[in-house]
Structure 1
Amino acid sequence: MINLYPDEMAEIYDAMYQSFIDYDKEYAFYNNLLQKNEPKSILEIGSGTGNIAKRFIENHQNYRGLDFSTSMITIAQKRNPDCEFLHGDMRDFNLEKKADAIIITSRSTSYLITNNDINDTFNCLYNNLNPNGIIIFDFIDANRYIPFIKENKTVIHSARHKGHSYLRKSDWEISSHDNFILEWTAKYYKDKIDNTTIIANDYSTVRVFTLNEIQLFLYLHNFEIQEIIDRKTYAFDTFVIVAKKKS
């Protein structure tokens, strides 16, 4: 796993996602699931530029964020100066104080390319949770997304922020049928699509999952699924899983 978002990309990501995602609704969605279990402490993995963190802090919840991108953390810390953000890898981190709940947001599971990545992540989540702790995470549904990208080779998303239009032109290619691995190429533009004025390029290798795969990985790592939610986002058909740590 590389540093996913250098300084320039972190700023562009932050600007675009202000329009892509209603963060008040995003916070309400996750907080509703969390409060069913009344956690006293929460860790968000993939906390990014701190938009959901801002809502947790404003509501005086015991929240910490963790992200692999130092550039993202820099923006998040400026947005939330009184919040603790940790630089870390979801496959290998160790909290000084274990959490009652860990959420993985923004489809960050897509960057778990190998089965070892997934096994290491679920093992790490288990070890950093208090007894009966819960995890909540989303993932892109392979059964719906792979047919979509086979029919739509190029996908354009637009967003508007602080008087500017931002556009992202994405191309997808299936590179492995074994683990449903996709190569994602994205070009970013400001105000209009003009290949002479590309403001950034982004290249990522990502993985999409079937629900059955995720259910089996959770079973093998001693998590009991509490809830499965079929949830659409601005770009992806996803499932959200709520699972509890078993003794």
Structure 2
Amino acid sequence: MYQEFAQVYDELMSEIDYKNWADYVSRIFLNGKREIKSVLEFGCGTGNITCNLAAKGFDMTAVDLSEGMLTIADEKADRMGIKNIQFYLGDMSNFQINQTFDAVISCCDSVNYLPSLEAVQSFLLCSYDCLESGGLLVFDMNTVSKYKKVIMDNTYVYDLDDIYCVWENEPHFENNEMHFNITFFDKNEDGTYNRHEETQVQYFYTIEDIHLCLKNIGFQNMKYYNFGTFLAGSNEGDRIQIVAEKK
């Protein structure tokens, strides 16, 4: 999954301030009941937030469904000399490990890739089982409003040094879905290009949907922030930061 796309992901997402994102997550940790030392991350991708949190001293266990993404993440951690990360290939909705953690996180709208509320609930249950008592679940989501008012049916073109990419958004609002049709060309040493095509799908969920799932599983003290702040978030914002606590 995402084998070819993994090779160009970091260049296409270079505008994202992952250090600041990791700082925000670590500030959220300070509001929990227990001290956060061990962190399980679902949907770690190429390890940008993983490495930033590990550099702060957190013991990271990072999981992703894409072997290609994990390979790049592991190489990145090695280049940075970071040793306190364990990487695993796995599905965030059914991952099992004989260990519990002070916090479980999922960043960069990974939860929006889960195709149904049943899959979301499976992810939340998996996270609950992996948490220590008093541990925090921290994840973010793109809102329905963002898909309908910002992402819409826009097309983006990235013309970088060694990569040319056309990214087309294809809404399927009747099914609460957004399809991303990605065509990209990466440059060979001889000046020729390789063409790749990939479609990714994200799914829309409301705060009310997520709150009911969290409540059904047994989480408590749920909070919904406008992303990047500690102000109350809503379905009308672009991204919601969700925090919940295991009893």
TM over 0.5: yes
- 1: CA distance, partners of 2:40 / 2:166: 30
Distance 1:116 1:212 in 2: 15
Which residue of 13, 33, 39 maps to 2:36?
Answer: 39
What is the 5 A alignment of 1:47-86?
47-81=44-78, 82=83, 83-86=85-88
TM-aligned CA deviation for residue 147 of structure 1: 3.9
CA distance in 1, matches of 2:217, 2:70: 29
- Alpha-carbon offset, residue 29 of structure 1: 1.1
Match of 2:209 in 1: 213
Structure 1 segment 189-208 matched on structure 2, within 5 A: 199-208=195-204
In the alignment, which residue of structure 2 is the partner of 1:194?
A: none
**1:135-176 deviations in Å (ceiling 9; x for gaps):** 011111113422445xx422316486xx55754422212164
TM-score, normalised to structure 2, is 0.82
Could you tell me which residue of structure 2 aligns to residue 11 of structure 1?
A: 7
The number of residue pairs the alignment matches comes to 228
> CA offsets, 1:106-147, max 9 Å, x none?
101111112221121111111111111110111111134224
Structure 2 letter corresponding to 1:87: L
Structure 1: where are the runs of 5+ without partners? 192-196
Residues 62/215 of structure 1: CA separation in 2 closer, same or farther (3 Å cut) = same
Q: CA 1:43–1:157 in 2, change beyond 3 Å: closer, same or farther?
A: farther
- Out of 12, 15, 19, the residue aligned to residue 20 of structure 1 is 15
When normalised by structure 1's length, the TM-score is 0.82
> How far 1:34 moved relative to its partner?
1.5
Matched AA of 1:10: A
Is residue 88 of structure 2 the alignment partner of residue 94 of structure 1?
no
Residue 211 of structure 2 contacts residue 222 of structure 2 at CA under 8 Å; is this kept in 1? no
**Structure 2 gap segments, 5+ residues each:** 188-192, 229-236
Q: Structure 1: which amino acid aligns with 2:29?
A: L
Per the TM alignment, residue 14 of structure 1 is displaced from its structure 2 partner at its CA by 2.1
Please, what is the CA RMSD of the aligned residues? 2.5
Return the letter of the residue paired with 1:154.
N
Measured in 2, the distance between the counterparts of 1:158 and 1:22 equals 18
Residue 187 of structure 1 pairs with residue 149 of structure 2? no
| Aligned position for 1:245 | 246
Change over 3 Å in CA distance of 1:10–1:144 after alignment to 2: closer
